[in-house]
Amino acid sequence: MKKPSLLVLAAGLGSRYKGQKQTDALGDNQETLLEFALYDALQKGLKKVVFIINDQFPKAYKNHLEKNLTKKGCQVFFIEQTLDKFIPQEFKAKVSDRRKPLGTGHAVYCAKGVIAEPFITINADDFYGRDSLSKAFDMVASGTLQEDRYGMVAFELINTLSKNGTVSRGVCQTKDGYLQSVEEYTSIAQVDGVLSGKNDETQQERTLDLKTLVSMNFWVLAPSFFDFAKRDLTVFLRANEDLSQKEFYLPAVVDKAIQRGEVRVKVEPTHEKWFGLTYADDKATAMQEIERLKAKGSYPAKLWE
């Protein structure tokens, strides 16, 4: 089995963060959350990285990543997620007035020209932890991954909340270690000890358990995903007349493939505590966590030395 490549989703506009959160540096050494995931992946033998970026991705940071990863023996690709990329001609007028990327499902689909091996997807603005990256690479190494067998590293919902506002998560249903379904929930928050969120499809509010497993866009996928994404993207574009706000989600593509019986998804739970940059005030918490991890020896003082 080939070593997996790493697909980094870094094209979001960060509207709630009020800035380019994927490249916002933390601490004295000006390292981003993304660089900690890259460090962990390199320890597992990473040899190829694909970045999905937007047109605001800083050229200097792009050069920084390319230089350091190339030194480590990695192939590096940068792909810009434009609104018309791989969109059938008949639907291009529908997305012409849209102001933000079409969603994570489309972001992954943009990589179809450069990935022909198993691949792991992560968000650039999330910290997943070494155990999580290790589990993802081990799933590929063990032979678990096939064209019809995917994987996912799932977090407990309580470990993925922000104290600075609501979050959106893919809420998972599992059975015997396999994913049965994943539904996108928005506006998730804990109020007076009660955790609840809104189903993105039905817009119904629901109480959620603290231990509920959720997707953080941390998938272990095969190239067959691109065929599913192409099919579902066409259905999505045809079904929605107003595309100003609708999102084509990565978990939705996987969920539809599960419901059709085309794939099975092995779920590896992790007890790692996630932290990320959703709101501007999240930065202080992320910096504290990074310094704590460095102080205990989990990471070197300077990642690239």
* 70: CATH: 3.90.550.10
Torsion of CA 86, 7, 261, 205, to 10 degrees: -90
What is the model's pLDDT at position 99? Answer: 83
Tens of pLDDT, residue by residue over 191-208, are 888 999 999 889 999 999
pLDDT at 139 over 90: yes
Tell me whether residue 44 is in a domain. yes
Tell me whether residue 165 is in a domain. no
Tell me whether residue 268 is in a domain. no
Tell me whether residue 120 is in a domain. yes
* 199, 206 Cβ separation under 8 angstroms: yes
CA distance 231 to 237: 10
From the centroid of its chain, how far is CA 252?
13
CA distance 108 to 159: 25
The pTM assigned to this predicted structure is 0.92
Tens of pLDDT, residue by residue over 98-108, are 888 899 999 99
Tens of pLDDT, residue by residue over 34-85, are 999 999 999 999 999 999 999 989 999 999 999 999 999 999 999 999 999 9
- 85: β partners: none
CA distance 305 to 300: 8
pLDDT at 24 over 90: no
State the amino acid at position 21 in one-letter form: K
pLDDT at 17 over 70: no
Tell me whether residue 173 is in a domain. no
What is the model's pLDDT at position 115? Answer: 97
Contacts of 172 (CB under 8 A, 6+ apart): 152, 154, 179, 180, 181, 182, 212, 213, 214, 215, 267
Tell me whether residue 193 is in a domain. no
Total of domains in the chain: 1
Residue 231 domain boundaries: 5-152+215-256+275-295
